[in-house]
Amino acid sequence: MPRRWRKSSRSGGIADSDCVEVSFAHDVAVRDSKNASGPVLAFAPARWREFLRHVSR
């Protein structure tokens, strides 16, 4: 089953904006929205929550 990728609504929908996309499945995957076929970072859900907790401070 292909991943469903999301981009932040705060990105403004501009095609050439610097954004990342995220996909939630058994893991959390992150990629560069301008390079959809490029590398993907994958995180365990617990590590993703920890990351969000730290960056939202």
| Model pLDDT for residues 5-46, shown as the tens digit of each residue | 998 777 766 666 678 899 999 999 999 988 989 999 999 999
**Per-residue pLDDT at 13:** 63
Does residue 7 sit within a domain?
Answer: no
Nearest-angstrom CA–CA distance, 38 and 36:
6
In the chain, the number of structural domains is: 1
**Phi, then psi, of 33 in degrees rounded to 5:** -65, -20
What separation in angstroms does the CA of 50 have from each of 14, 22, 39, 47? 29, 16, 22, 5
Among 51, 53, 28, 31, smallest CA distance to 40 is for 31
pTM score of the predicted model: 0.78
Confidence of residue 53 (pLDDT cuts 50, 70, 90): very high
Does residue 1 sit within a domain?
Answer: no
**Per-residue pLDDT at 42:** 96
Question: Residue 37's domain spans which residues?
Answer: 19-55
